[in-house]
Every structure is written in C-alpha cells, then in structure tokens.
C-alpha cells in the first residue's frame, strides 16, 4: 500500500499549455489627432450605415474597422485592437458629445 501511495505522488503533472487566446494590446489613451483620424475614416466610410441598408452590416463594419486599425498604425505607429476602437467610437458619440462635436467641426 505504501508503494501505491508513493507511486501515485511521483506521477508527472501535465505541462502547462500556452494560452491560445487572441493577442491583446495595451489600452492606452488616444491622442486627439488619432481620434480625428479615426472619426474621419469612420464618417467617410459610413460606419453607422446612414447612407443605405447594407446586406451584411457586421461584415461591412469589420472591414471598415480593419482599415482604421491599419491607417492609425501607419500614421501614428500605434497598434490598437478593433474592439478598443469600437468602444472609443461609441464613447465619443454617447459619453463625450462635446469632444465629438469639436472633432466634427475640424472635419
């Protein structure tokens, strides 16, 4: 019986598997110029769908957001996640209307 206990305690524990989750980017504050660029692209590409009904609005929005991510990375050198930019766009429109109107005036 002692042999059984010692044999079971010596068993190897499984190696920890590396996480296969998506790569996460640190959420840092956006500069005003970055927000202006983001709003410019989203308004130009009709992210809100005001110009017409789209057959696949989620795919359309995802495509636009991908272009925003690449444009911001090329222009400012900061890589941001699509989810972060979606949330920032929503916050600008709903929680920070004053700043949104300032940006719209510039454009």
Residue 75 lies in a domain: yes
Residue 7 lies in a domain: no
Q: What is the pLDDT of residues 24-80, one digit of tens each?
A: 666 778 899 999 999 999 999 999 988 888 889 999 999 999 999 999 999 999 899
pTM to 2 decimals? 0.73
Residue 17 lies in a domain: no
B/e letters for 43-72, b = 16+ CB within 10 Å, e = fewer, are eebebeeeeeeeeeeeeebeebbeebbeeb
Token look-up 């109107």 returns 101
Number of domains the chain is built from: 1
Between these two residues, 4 and 31, which has the higher pLDDT value?
31
Residue 13 lies in a domain: no
| Residues of the domain holding 51 | 29-106
Residue 48 lies in a domain: yes
């Amino acid at each position: 019986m002692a042999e059984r206990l010692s044999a079971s305690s010596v068993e190897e524990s499984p190696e920890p598997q590396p996480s296969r989750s998506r790569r996460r980017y640190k959420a840092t504050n956006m500069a005003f110029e970055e927000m202006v660029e983001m709003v410019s692209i989203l308004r130009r590409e009709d992210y809100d769908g005001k110009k017409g009904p789209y057959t696949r609005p989620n795919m359309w929005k995802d495509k636009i957001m991908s272009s925003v991510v690449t444009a911001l990375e090329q222009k400012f050198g900061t890589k941001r996640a699509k989810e972060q930019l979606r949330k920032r766009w929503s916050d600008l429109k709903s929680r920070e209307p004053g700043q949104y109107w300032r940006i719209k005036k510039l454009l």
